[in-house]
Amino acid sequence: MRNFVHGAAMWHVACPQRPSRVAGVTMAGFRVGDLDALRMVPHPAVTLLLEFGAGQPIVDDATGRQQRGSLVGGPGLGSGGAVWARGENIECVQVRLSPVVARAVLGVSPAELDGVVVALDDLWGRKASRVRERLGEVSSWQDRFALIDALLARRLEAGAAVDPEVAWAWNRIVGGRGLVRVDGLAASVGWSRKRLWSRFRSQLGLPPKRAVKLVRFDHAVHRLVAGEGAARVAADGGYADQSHLHRDVMAFTGVTPATVAGEPFLTVDGIAWPSHETPAKPHGSRDLGSAAGRR
């Protein structure tokens, strides 16, 4: 377990010793005595927060609603800087789910999580309480990670896979760091544009163009956190100019690039999420690796 200090707050952060058996899943454990007004910065994943400590995280979402306890948020949660988390004596495991596997794991499409935070109890019922109890019963973070990993693997196997064409399009966007022309995605998988856009939105929770912008933004802000200049990030990251980057960062976070570079939600990533996620290949699907050749 490593420590992350932000202001007067001390975060204790734990990471799994081995990757998840489920492609498209990463986890980190957090123990925070006093979490004071944490801005949730949009990320190209579904966020699953599993709490088990003496306190409960409290999240105010974009609709003005307040949720407590174990929570789920869709890809891009926090757009506009409108979602905030806080709480005392928090212990939790945060899971980042690729939208490709999220529908099977959660039992609902990420499209039902658009811009809102949902209590896990609303999705899993009494099973959510049992997960909380089991996390509290084990004594080590590695045992907690193993418990959650086994749970996610079982749910993935029993759940409904997304269309392989949709998964290929998502992985192409992620693999290209958002530097992808969305008009060519449908042709690459042999679908009409309307069909891909409809399936992509309904199964992953956001349209392809929004996915491209979100993935590009995510890479850009992490480069800003690493200390790179905004002009260089804009030039390398597919933005027309520095003003374009500024507008995108403001739209996603509500703050300027200079401010977002110091947001604790991002600055803790170097400890909690030290490596990039591997794009998920859907279970039970055929290989579309050669789809790009069908132009």
- Chain length of the chain: 295
Lowest mean pLDDT among 19-33, 66-80, 187-201, 265-279: 265-279
- Quickly state the pLDDT bin for 269 (edges 50, 70, 90): very high
Cα separation of 147 and 137, whole Å?
Answer: 11
Dihedral sign for Cα atoms in the order 275, 75, 31, 80: positive
- What is the set of domains in the chain, with CATH numbers? 2-158 (2.60.120.10), 164-272 (1.10.10.60)
Which residues share a beta bridge with 35? 87
Residue 203 and residue 103 in contact, taking contact as beta carbons nearer than 8 Å: yes
pLDDT tens-digit readout, 104-113: 999 999 999 8
Predicted local distance difference test score (pLDDT) of residue 288? 57
Residue 291 has pLDDT above 60, yes or no: no
Mean per-residue pLDDT, 10-18: 94
144 phi and psi angles, rounded to 5 deg: -65, -45
Cα separation of 287 and 160, whole Å?
Answer: 17
Cα separation of 289 and 277, whole Å?
Answer: 19
Residue 290 has pLDDT above 50, yes or no: no
